[in-house]
Structures are given as structure tokens and as C-alpha cells.
Amino acid sequence: MTSLALYNLKGGVGKTAATVNLAYLAAADGMKTLVWDLDPQGAASFYFHTETAVKNATRKIFTEELDIQEAAHGSEFENLWVIPADLSARHADIILDEAKQSKKRLRNLLAGLKSYDVIFLDCPPGISLLHENIFHAADWVLMPNIPTTLSIRSYDTILEYFKDNDLHTEKIKCFFSMVDHRKNLHHETVQQFYKNNVFFKNYIPYLSDVEKMGVHQQPLFEYANSSYAAQCYRDLWTEIKRTCL
Ligand SMILES: Nc1ncnc2c1ncn2[C@@H]1O[C@H](COP(=O)(O)OP(=O)(O)OP(=O)(O)O)[C@@H](O)[C@H]1O
Ligand SMILES: [Mg+2]
């Protein structure tokens, strides 16, 4: 089992869009795939039409009142399961703080999910005890970055955080997201950072087909399989598989 956390300190950078589309591709490749939606906004759960069956499910998973394997719902796609989020996910930090081994809780929970080939964690933005758990638990931390100064700065902040907390910096990999080549700043930033092998070569441009996922409430491939956007996610997935799986 390999776990991939789609994470950035910053919000609205394409974490959920990437989680949903990459998980879809993993499942289509025949891998037993799980998406764990850790964000109380529940956007990944929304795209996959899944809802928690138990009240306060996220809280109960963390307190082990609910068996994590039973919290996974089948989706309408073969090989793809989802642990949906609910609003109780907003209390994750408090619950973790009260737990024993509060930084390793998520890692212990993931150990109970070894029957999956790949697990995607759709993370809320920010940096808190939940995120510290994610950094310990995930095999890879995949950071979408919009090529702007502030977004790159958030990557630097996380890198420092990893160093200060003895976390493995090698597990952080970045890819550019929402790239608009008409903007000089985007173009120059992408060129500058490609020299740094932390960034994948493939990136996701700013494309309205991706934005329409909300309207269709589906992964991109279900309504625009032959689009350029779909090809960009496929190329990125091929590179992620080569590097991380
Ligand atoms: N490549 C893209 N091109 C155009 N729009 C995009 C692209 N990627 C994501 N979007 C749109 O941008 C918005 C934010 O994307 P998304 O929800 O994936 O970001 P996020 O990082 O998960 O946000 P949050 O921090 O709120 O969880 C959504 O409306 C989404 O449809
Ligand atoms: Mg999101």
C-alpha cells in the first residue's frame, strides 16, 4: 500500500481536483484505490457522490469508535472506495490532541488499510496537528503549487517545517497547478523551478474543463475524456506512478 497526501498550506490550489482525478486514474489502472476525504468541506466526497453513513463519522474514526475499514464506501467506479468527510472533521485537531501518540494516530489508522494498493488523502489547507499526522503517515506529500510568489513561499515554509521537525523532506514532491502561460509570472516561475527536481515535469494548466468538475459533479474523465486537461492529468499520473509507486 502506498499513501499519497494531496496537500498545500494554501487553499484553492487544486488539491481536491488532483485527488479526484488521480484516484480515478489509479482505479482505472486496476489498483484497489481509496480516497480519504480529511477536509470538513467534503469536496472530494461531493465529487464521488458519497456521504457518511454514521453521524460524526470522522470523529469516530479517530477515536476508533468506528472501524476505519467499515467507514470506506464503494463508489460508482470499479476499484474505487471513499471515506467521506463530514463536519466532525473540523474537530480533528482536538481529538488528536487528546489521543495517545497524538502525532502518529493517522499512521496507525492507515496501517489498518493495507488491503488497498493506493490511498489518496485529500487534505484541508493549513498546518496543525492533523497536518503533522499527515506528514508522518503519508508515504508521499504531493503539493500542487500555483506558480506565484506566495504559493512557492508556502512550499519553502513547509520544507523548513519538515527540517525543524525531523520529517523526511524527500517525501515532498510538487507539481504546478492552474498554470496560465499567458501570464509572464507563471511562465517564468515554472521555468525557474524546473531546475529543481522537487517538481514533477508534468503540470496542470488552468483549464475550464477542470473547473467544470463542480457542474458535472464527476471526475474530469467522465465528461471530457479526450480533452487536453484529461491528457495533462494522465501524464502527471504516469510520472507519479514512476516516482512514487
Ligand atoms: N487546473 C484548473 N483549472 C481551472 N480551474 C481549476 C483547476 N484546478 C482546480 N480548479 C478549480 O479551482 C477551485 C479550487 O480547486 P480545488 O477545490 O481542487 O482546490 P483545493 O486546493 O482543494 O481547495 P481547498 O483548499 O479549498 O480544499 C475549484 O473550483 C476547482 O474547480
Ligand atoms: Mg480541497
Query: Is the pLDDT score of 148 beyond 90?
Result: no
Residue 131 belongs to what domain range? 2-244
What's the CA gap between 172 and 7, in Å, rounded? 10
CA of 64 to the centre of ligand 2 (A): 25
**Separation CA 30–CA 25 (nearest Å):** 9
Question: Which carries the bigger pLDDT value, residue 137 or residue 181?
Answer: 137
Q: Give the model confidence (pLDDT) of 195-243 as tens digits.
A: 777 899 999 999 999 999 999 999 999 999 999 999 999 999 999 999 9
CATH number, position 198: 3.40.50.300
Ligand nearest to the CA of 151: 1
How far is ligand 2, taken at its centre, from the CA of residue 201, in Å?
Answer: 23
What pLDDT does 237 receive? 98
Write out the DSSP string of 37-84: E--TT-HHHHHTT---SSTTHHHHHHHTSS-HHHHPEE-SSTTEEEE-
Residue 151's nearest CA partner among 53, 8, 46 is 8
Q: What is the pLDDT of residues 116-136, one digit of tens each?
A: 999 999 999 999 999 999 999
Region 33-58: mean pLDDT is: 94
The most confident of the ranges 28-37, 93-102, 173-182 is 28-37
Count of the separate structural domains present in the chain: 1
Cell numbers for 175, please give them: 507539481
Which ligand is nearest the CA of 227, by number? 1
- What was the pLDDT predicted at 191? 83
Cα of 154 to ligand 1 centre, how many Å?
17
Matching residue, cell 474505487: 80
**Residue from 127, 181, 211, 232 to probe ligand 1 pocket by mutation (most atoms less than 8 Å from CB):** 211
Region 4-11: mean pLDDT is: 96
What per-residue confidence (pLDDT) applies to 175?
Answer: 96
